C-alpha cells in the first residue's frame, strides 16, 4: 500500500539502476531545466528522502506482515503464490531509483559544503535502505549501481558485502554527527537533534550484529561494546517512527491504514486471526494493547450465512495444532456472550473470494493507524438496560467508514526502530550470545516500553476510561509474561522473547520477518489452511522490473523462495 503523503520534487538523477523504468535518460541528458545535484536545494532533497523512507517502510511492512501472521495472508493459499515478482516493483524502484540516489545527492552536496548533519542523516537512511534490500531479496546490486548511463545492467553483489558497506556508512554517519554542522530545515523524525540520530545509528548497528550473529564470530564483543557505550535508543522520545497527519486531501497525510478503512466501503485489509488471538489466547491476562490495536465493527459472529463466513461450517483442520484459532480469532460461535467475540479476521492463507463483510471485519485501531479505540464489552452494544429503545453503547462496535471522522483522524505512525525493538534485540543477544545484558530485564523493558507507547495514543482520540487499561492490568500482564520466562528453558525463553517482539511490532513486518528467519521463532504459529504448505519464503522474488530489464547473466529470477540471505543459515523448514 503506497503512502500518498509525498512531496514531489522534479530533479534529475545522476544515479540509476536498470530497475528504474519510469525515467527517460535521453530527455534528462539534454534537458537544461532538469535539476541536478549542483543546483538542487539540499534541504528539499533531504526532506524528500525522509518522506520516501516512510513510504518504503510502509510498503515493506505491507509485504512482510502476512507471511508472519501479523496481517492475514489472503493473496494466495500457498507461500509461493502469495506474491508475484511485480508486487515488489514499487519497493525496488523506491529504494534504487529514489531513496539511495537522493541520499547520494545529499551526501555529495553535504561533503562539498561541510554540512555533516546532512551527510550523517543521509548515510543512516542509505544504510537502512541497503540492509532492507538484502533482508528482502538476498544478493542485490550495489557496487555497479548508481552509475547512470555508464552502467545500466549492474551485477548482483553478495548480500554480505552490501551489509558490510552499510555498516561502514553507519560508522561514517556517527563520525559526521559527532561533529555536526549545518541545520536541516525540516527533519521530520528528530528535528535536527544529532544525538538522537547517533542513537539510531548505534541501534542499527545492534540490529546488524544481531541479524548476522549466525555468521559473525565477533557479534558478542561488538554488541558488548555497544552496551558499554550506552548510547542506543532507550526511551519513547527517541523512537524512530514516521509520523502521519490528519489532513484528508491535498495531500492526504493520514496513515494509509486509516485512509483505507475509515473513509467509505470498509477496510480492504483482513486482520490475522492468529495475531488477534495472541493477545488473549496464550495468556490468562488480557494484553493491555488489544483495544488499541484492533477495532471491532461487528461484535456478533452468530447467524452468519455460509457466503459471508463460510469457514464456520468447515471442520477444524486436522493439521492444525489443538487450541489455535480457526475461522475468526474468537472461534466460538455458540456463545454470543463470549468475552472476545467479534474479532473477525482470516486464517493464514485464506484466499477465498471477498464476501459482503467490509463492514464486519475487524479494522486497524488507534495504534498505529490513528483509528478508533475499541470500547465495547462483548455484546453490550445490543443491550438496552434503560429500556429507551436505543442500544446502550451505540458508538462502539460500529462500522468505521464515516468519511474520516472517527478516532484519531489518521494521526498514526509507521514504527521503524522503537525502543522496545532495541530491548527485544538485546534480550535475544543476551540469551543466544551471552552478552553483558540480562535477557529477563530486557524482555521486561521491551514489554513495558511497548505498552507505554501504545497507551500514549490515548492522547490523540477519545478513549473510554472504563476500558482503558489501568496500572494494575498492565502489571498483571507483565508479571504473567515474566513468570512464563522464569519457568521456561532457554528454547522457551527465546520463543517468549520473539512472541513479545511480534506483539510489540504491530505495523512493522520486516523486523519480525527477519527475526522469524533468524531464530525460527515464535513457534506454534497458525499453519496455512492447506495441509500442503509449500516452502516458507526465506527471501522474496526479485522484482519484475529488475529481472526483465537487466541483461547481466546473474540478474535472473530465483528458481524458488528457499534461497536464503547470507545471514540466514538455519536449516530448511525452520520457518513455516
Is the Cβ–Cβ distance between 347 and 72 less than 8 Å?
A: yes
pLDDT tens string 338-397? 678 889 999 999 999 889 898 899 999 999 999 999 998 654 444 545 555 555 555 578
Is position 10 within any domain? no
Residues 6+ away with beta carbon under 8 Å from 279: 286, 287, 289, 290, 293, 503
Q: Tell whether the model's pLDDT for residue 9 goes beyond 60.
A: no
Which strand (E) or helix (H) includes residue 159? helix 159-177
Domain boundary among 232, 266, 290: 232
pLDDT tens string 148-186? 666 678 889 999 999 999 999 999 999 999 999 999 999
Q: Tell whether the model's pLDDT for residue 23 goes beyond 90.
A: no
**Beta partners for residue 35, in sequence order:** 11
Provide the number of structural domains found in the chain. Answer: 2
For residues 333 and 477, membership in a common domain is answered with: yes
For residues 290 and 423, membership in a common domain is answered with: yes
Is the Cβ–Cβ distance between 61 and 509 less than 8 Å?
A: yes
Give which of 282, 289, 384, 277 is closest to 340, Cα–Cα: 277
For residues 44 and 154, membership in a common domain is answered with: yes
Q: Tell whether the model's pLDDT for residue 476 goes beyond 60.
A: yes
Specify the pairing of strand 140-141 against strand 413-417. Answer: unpaired
Domain of residue 150, residue span: 25-232
For residues 52 and 123, membership in a common domain is answered with: yes
CB atoms within 10 A of CB 357: 18
For residues 87 and 223, membership in a common domain is answered with: yes
Is position 304 within any domain? yes
Average confidence (pLDDT) over 300-321? 86
pLDDT tens string 41-69? 999 999 999 999 999 999 999 999 999 99
Specify the pairing of strand 363-364 against strand 294-295. Answer: antiparallel
CATH of the domain at 322: 1.20.120.840
Q: Tell whether the model's pLDDT for residue 16 goes beyond 80.
A: no
For residues 114 and 207, membership in a common domain is answered with: yes
Give the Cα separation of 178 and 116 in Å (integer). Answer: 9
For residues 261 and 228, membership in a common domain is answered with: no
Average confidence (pLDDT) over 407-421? 98
Is position 398 within any domain? yes
Is the Cβ–Cβ distance between 297 and 290 less than 8 Å?
A: no
pLDDT tens string 503-545? 999 999 999 999 999 999 999 999 999 998 789 999 999 999 9
For residues 457 and 518, membership in a common domain is answered with: yes
Residue 199 phi, psi dihedral angles, 5° rounding? -65, -40
For residues 249 and 197, membership in a common domain is answered with: no
Is the Cβ–Cβ distance between 454 and 463 less than 8 Å?
A: no
For residues 396 and 361, membership in a common domain is answered with: yes
Work out the mean pLDDT of the chain and round it to a whole number: 89
**Bigger pLDDT: 36 vs 322:** 322
pLDDT band at residue 197, thresholds of 50, 70 and 90? very high
Is position 573 within any domain? no
CATH of the domain at 179: 1.25.40.390
pLDDT, residue 5, reads 37
Give the Cα separation of 484 and 91 in Å (integer). Answer: 39
Give which of 51, 129, 93 is closest to 510, Cα–Cα: 129
pTM: 0.92
For residues 227 and 329, membership in a common domain is answered with: no
3-state secondary structure labels for all residues of 280-307:
CCCCCCCCCCHHHHEECCCCCCCCCCCC
Amino acid at each position: 500500500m503506497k503512502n500518498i503523503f509525498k512531496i514531489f520534487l522534479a530533479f534529475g538523477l545522476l544515479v540509476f539502476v536498470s530497475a528504474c523504468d519510469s525515467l527517460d535518460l535521453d530527455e534528462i541528458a539534454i534537458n537544461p531545466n532538469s535539476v541536478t545535484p549542483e543546483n538542487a536545494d539540499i534541504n528539499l532533497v533531504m526532506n524528500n528522502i525522509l518522506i520516501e523512507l516512510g513510504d518504503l517502510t510502509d510498503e515493506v511492512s505491507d509485504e512482510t506482515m502476512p507471511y508472519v501472521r501479523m496481517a492475514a495472508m489472503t493473496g494466495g493459499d500457498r507461500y509461493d503464490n502469495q506474491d508475484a515478482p511485480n508486487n515488489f516493483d514499487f519497493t525496488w524502484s523506491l529504494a534504487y531509483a529514489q531513496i539511495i540516489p537522493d541520499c547520494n545527492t545529499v551526501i555529495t552536496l553535504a561533503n562539498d559544503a561541510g554540512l555533516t548533519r546532512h551527510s550523517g542523516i543521509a548515510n543512516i537512511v542509505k544504510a537502512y535502505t541497503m540492509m532492507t534490500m538484502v533482508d528482502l531479496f538476498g544478493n542485490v546490486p550495489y557496487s555497479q549501481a548508481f552509475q547512470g548511463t555508464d552502467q545500466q545492467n549492474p551485477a548482483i553483489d553478495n548480500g554480505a558485502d552490501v551489509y558490510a558497506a552499510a555498516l561502514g556508512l553507519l560508522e561514517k554517519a556517527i563520525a559526521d554527527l559527532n561533529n555536526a554542522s549545518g541545520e536541516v530545515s525540516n527533519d521530520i523524525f528528530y528535528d535536527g537533534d544529532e544525538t538522537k540520530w547517533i542513537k539510531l545509528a548505534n541501534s542499527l548497528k545492534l540490529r546488524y550484529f544481531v541479524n548476522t550473529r549466525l555468521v559473525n564470530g565477533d557479534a558478542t564483543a561488538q554488541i558488548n561494546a555497544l552496551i558499554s557505550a550506552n548510547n542506543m535508543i532507550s526511551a519513547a522520545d527517541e523512537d524512530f517512527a514516521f509520523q502521519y497527519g490528519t489532513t484528508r486531501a491535498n495531500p492526504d497525510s493520514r496513515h494509509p491504514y486509516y485512509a483505507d478503512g475509515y473513509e467509505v466501503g470498509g477496510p480492504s485489509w483482513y486482520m490475522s486471526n492468529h495475531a488477534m488471538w495472541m493477545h488473549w489466547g496464550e495468556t490468562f491476562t488480557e494484553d493491555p494493547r488489544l483495544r488499541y490495536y484492533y477495532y471491532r465493527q461487528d461484535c456478533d459472529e452468530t447467524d452468519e450465512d455460509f457466503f459471508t463466513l463460510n469457514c464456520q461450517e468447515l471442520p477444524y483442520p486436522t493439521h492444525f495444532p489443538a487450541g489455535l484459532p480457526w475461522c475468526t480469532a474468537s472461534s466460538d460461535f455458540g456463545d454470543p456472550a463470549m468475552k472476545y467475540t467479534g474479532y473477525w479476521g482470516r486464517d493464514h492463507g485464506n484466499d477465498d473470494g471477498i464476501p459482503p463483510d467490509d463492514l464486519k471485519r475487524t479494522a486497524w485501531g488507534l495504534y498505529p493507524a490513528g483509528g478508533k479505540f475499541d470500547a465495547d464489552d462483548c455484546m453490550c452494544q445490543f443491550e438496552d438496560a434503560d429500556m429507551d429503545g436505543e442500544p446502550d453503547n451505540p458508538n462502539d462496535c460500529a462500522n468505521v467508514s464515516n468519511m474520516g471522522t472517527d478516532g484519531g483522524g489518521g494521526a498514526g505512525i509507521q514504527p521503524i526502530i522503537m525502543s522496545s525493538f532495541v530491548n527485544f534485540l538485546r534480550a535475544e543477544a543476551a540469551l543466544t550470545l551471552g552478552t553483558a545484558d540480562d535477557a529477563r530485564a530486557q524482555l521486561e523493558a521491551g514489554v513495558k516500553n511497548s505498552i507505554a507507547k501504545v497507551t500514549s495514543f490515548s492522547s490523540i482520540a477519545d478513549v473510554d476510561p472504563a476500558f482503558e487499561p489501568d496500572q494494575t492490568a498492565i502489571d498483571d500482564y507483565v508479571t504473567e509474561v515474566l513468570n512464563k520466562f522464569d519457568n521456561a528453558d532457554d528454547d522457551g525463553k527465546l520463543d517468549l522473547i520473539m512472541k513479545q517482539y511480534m506483539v510489540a511490532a504491530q505495523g512493522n513486518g520486516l523486523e519480525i520477518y527477519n527475526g522469524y528467519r533468524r531464530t525460527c521463532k515464535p513457534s506454534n504459529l497458525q499453519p496455512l489452511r492447506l495441509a500442503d504448505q509449500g516452502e516458507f519464503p526465506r527471501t522474496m522474488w526479485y522484482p519484475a522490473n529488475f529481472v526483465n530489464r537487466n541483461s547481466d547473466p546473474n540478474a535472473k529470477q530465483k528458481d524458488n523462495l528457499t534461497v536464503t540471505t547470507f545471514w540466514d543459515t538455519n536449516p530448511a523448514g525452520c520457518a513455516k
